[in-house]
Amino acid sequence: MEAPPDALSRDSPTIRAVKDITFGSIAGMVSKVFEHPFDLTKVRLQSQVLDSSARFSGPIDCLTKTWKNEGIRGLYRGLPAPIVGAMVENASLFLVYGELQSVIRRVSGRPLSQDPTLPQLALAAAGAGMFTSFLLTPIELVKCKMQVQMLVAPASPTQKLPGPISVLVSVIRGGGLRGLWLGHTGTLIRETGGTAAWFSTKEFVARVLVAQRKKRNNDQPLALTSSGAVQLRPWESALSGACAGAAFNFVLFPADTVKSAMQTEEELRPKNMASGTKQAPRATFFGTAKAMYKAQGVRGLYAGCGITVARSIPSSAIIFLIYDGLSKHFA
């Protein structure tokens, strides 16, 4: 009788989970260092929609003024929080995405030799995004608050602004643990719909590229990964990832804008908070969305969208290039 496979064999669920977490974390961290100045610009543009007068006329103006007034440290203000967030986000996305694919296969009776359909992949991705949103909201809350610190009270060279731990403690003191999930509705909508678009777009483009490669090779067998999928060439991973990044950030972008405005409301518009009460009422997602639409229309809800899509293209390409490369190397 053949001995049962070891729980830590290369093809075991445990090993796959460890790989998803490790590779996703590495890919997320590298991409976040690249994109952080552009993410900071996006948040600052989103946060000024409800202001009576805009601090920045556009993304280039925001980047230029930030560099001039705050230097390189200003462009990377709040980086520790998104670094942690990138690790959590990508690790959980790839892990849960893979596990939900396995569940869908079992429920639908689809054999491992057949790729899941695009609707099945989108469903698994949406579930992964929904799960990740609960982990991501507190991290993004701290990040957004740190990214607008210099807009509230510019610091002198010797003045030290609150770090991520101080900001986190301040949030808990002001609103309890529940306060860490301020703006969660926006994160939930963005991550659920955006992740479905992200993974399904990547898979769709990758399948098109692989089909073209098969055609050029006269349908000769191609190298496979340990899971049975065709190994992507580096440029195929990058191109399909770039398309996925654009899809993720364009789909449901207004939800992210409303989230950013909610998470920076206390810092940028304290006059809007109720006076004479011990604890000001929290803004609601739909109330904030309505106010932003009234202030600047659809344009306000898409504040920072251009630079976000532009930076997400190379950033997402980096994520999948690294993730697929590591998966191939350690197959």
User: Which range, of 64-78, 86-100, 244-258, averages the lowest pLDDT?
Assistant: 64-78
Q: How far is CA 159 from CA 53, 73, 146, 156, in A?
A: 27, 14, 15, 5
Question: Is 315 inside a domain boundary?
Answer: yes
Instruction: Give 230's strand partners.
Output: 224
Q: Provide the residue count of the chain.
A: 331
What is the structure's pLDDT at 194?
95
Question: Is 121 inside a domain boundary?
Answer: yes
Question: Is 76 inside a domain boundary?
Answer: yes
Mean pLDDT to the nearest integer, 70-74: 84
CATH of the domain at 58: 1.50.40.10
Decide if pLDDT at 169 tops 70.
Answer: yes
Question: Is 321 inside a domain boundary?
Answer: yes
Question: Is 94 inside a domain boundary?
Answer: yes
What is the structure's pLDDT at 55?
84
What is the structure's pLDDT at 322?
94
Mean pLDDT to the nearest integer, 268-273: 65
Quick check: 284 and 229 in contact, CB under 8 A?
Answer: no
Mean pLDDT to the nearest integer, 219-238: 74
- Render pLDDT for 111-129 as a digit per residue (tens, 0 to 9): 776 778 999 999 999 999 9
What is the structure's pLDDT at 224?
59
- Of 158, 179, 19, 214, nearest to 99 by C-alpha is 19
**Domains in the chain: how many in total?**
1
Question: Is 275 inside a domain boundary?
Answer: no
Mean pLDDT to the nearest integer, 85-112: 88
Decide if pLDDT at 236 tops 90.
Answer: yes
Question: Is 8 inside a domain boundary?
Answer: no
Question: Is 30 inside a domain boundary?
Answer: yes
Question: What is the pTM for the complete model shown?
Answer: 0.81
Q: Give the whole-number percent of the chain exceeding pLDDT 70.
A: 86
Structural domain including 27 reads 13-153+161-270+283-329
Residues with Cβ within 8 Å of residue 309, at least 6 apart in sequence = 245, 246, 249, 250
Q: With 0-12 CB in 10 A as exposed, 13-18 as middle and 19+ as buried, what is 254?
A: buried
CA distance 305 to 301: 9
Mean pLDDT to the nearest integer, 210-230: 72
